[in-house]
């Protein structure tokens, strides 16, 4: 039985190409496409697997693209728990402009799912014979799926006795937090939208995270800050990680790699500091990887000793 189960209600196949220059109207000759499994929870599953944890992925699958998605995950040794969908699994497209080094990302919304289709994913979670340590529900919500879908995932995960981890945004995030989760990983823009106020300083960010913890909405908040690093806030502690000085190649998958590193380390019983260190190293490794590539284990291990973490607030009684 896997230690970690991810649930992705809006999976995708991510396509990446190089192009000399992006221009309107004219035909742009591209490199041969690279295709990777995608969608928040699926990316988390891929990272957890690379970092040595046993993981399975629940997701709806439809059409030719859906079958390709499952084959790509099979190739990485990840167990798929699939439910049928009447619509084709979506694709995302990323183009790297060689002339400028800029990335252009085209993210499709996903086609509407019928009620029976998204409920089937919840039923697969409920039907797990043995409880995982963590259930990670991550990514966007496609049309036809209610805003409280991740809240329903949280209720079923807690009924299994598993810790629930949420990474989404907007109304889906707000609804899930009302249910209460073990870990939530917003970025600073998502948290700012949630609390309805700008979060331009660490003091404001920590206060917003503490409010979620103190209200019982989350036991732990991992707040990613882009090139400013990250914060990890619990009831008793606040840890601050500085951003590492690296050359950014691609921002695709950085947040998913961060979360995968964090959950993988926690599932292995690592200390909070070591789990946070692995998360930052994994997110950084993804940023250093081209296209839609995620972090690799060897690169994460190389970067971990270089991650600088400090305690920025005293423990509270």
User: If residue 98 lies in a helix (H) or strand (E), which one and from where to where?
Assistant: none
Q: How many C-beta atoms surround the C-beta of residue 283 within 10 A?
A: 32
Q: Could you tell me if 165 and 134 are in contact, meaning their C-beta atoms sit under 8 angstroms apart?
A: yes
Q: Could you tell me if 66 and 85 are in contact, meaning their C-beta atoms sit under 8 angstroms apart?
A: yes
Q: Could you tell me if 287 and 250 are in contact, meaning their C-beta atoms sit under 8 angstroms apart?
A: yes
Q: If DSSP codes are grouped into helix, strand and coil, which group holds residue 248?
A: coil
Q: If DSSP codes are grouped into helix, strand and coil, which group holds residue 252?
A: coil
> Which of the following is catalytic: 147, 167, 256, 297?
256
Q: How far apart are CA 128 and CA 177, in angstroms?
A: 24
Q: Is 256 one of the catalytic residues? A: yes
Residue 298 token pair: 């060897």
Q: Closest Cα to residue 149, out of 189, 185, 110, 115? A: 115
Q: Closest Cα to residue 9, out of 183, 106, 93, 125? A: 125
**Cα dihedral sign for 116, 121, 124, 125?**
negative
Which letter does DSSP use for residue 197 in this model?
Answer: S
Q: Parallel, antiparallel, or unpaired for β 4-7 and 55-61?
A: parallel
Q: If DSSP codes are grouped into helix, strand and coil, which group holds residue 37?
A: strand
Residue 193 token pair: 């939208």
Catalytic residues: 256
């Amino acid at each position: 039985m896997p230690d970690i189960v991810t649930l992705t209600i809006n999976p995708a196949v991510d396509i990446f190409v190089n192009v000399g220059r992006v221009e309107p109207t004219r035909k742009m000759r591209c490199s041969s496409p690279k295709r990777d499994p995608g969608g928040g929870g699926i990316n988390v599953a891929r990272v957890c697997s690379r970092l040595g944890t046993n993981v399975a992925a629940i997701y709806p699958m439809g059409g030719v693209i859906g079958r390709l998605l499952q084959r790509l995950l099979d190739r990485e040794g990840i167990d798929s728990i699939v439910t049928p969908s009447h619509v084709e699994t979506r694709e995302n497209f990323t183009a790297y402009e060689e002339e400028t080094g800029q990335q252009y990302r085209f993210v499709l919304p996903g086609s509407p799912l019928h009620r029976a289709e998204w409920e089937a994913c919840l039923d697969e979670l409920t039907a797990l014979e043995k409880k995982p340590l963590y259930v990670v529900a991550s990514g966007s919500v496609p049309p036809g799926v209610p805003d409280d879908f991740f809240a329903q995932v949280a209720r079923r995960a807690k009924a299994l006795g598993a810790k629930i981890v949420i990474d989404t945004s907007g109304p889906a995030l707000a609804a899930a937090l009302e249910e209460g989760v073990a870990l939530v990983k917003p970025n600073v823009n998502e948290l700012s939208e949630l609390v309805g106020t700008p979060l331009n300083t660490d003091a404001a960010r920590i206060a917003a995270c503490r409010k979620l913890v103190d209200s019982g909405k989350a036991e732990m908040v991992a707040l990613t800050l882009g090139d400013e690093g990250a914060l990890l806030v619990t009831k008793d502690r606040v840890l601050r990680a500085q951003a590492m000085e690296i050359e950014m190649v691609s921002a695709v998958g950085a947040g998913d790699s961060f979360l995968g590193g964090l959950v993988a380390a926690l599932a292995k019983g690592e200390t909070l500091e070591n789990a946070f260190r692995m998360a930052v190293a994994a997110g950084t490794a993804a940023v250093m990887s081209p296209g839609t590539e995620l972090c690799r284990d060897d690169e994460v291990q190389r970067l971990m000793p270089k991650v600088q973490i400090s305690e920025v607030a005293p423990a509270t009684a």
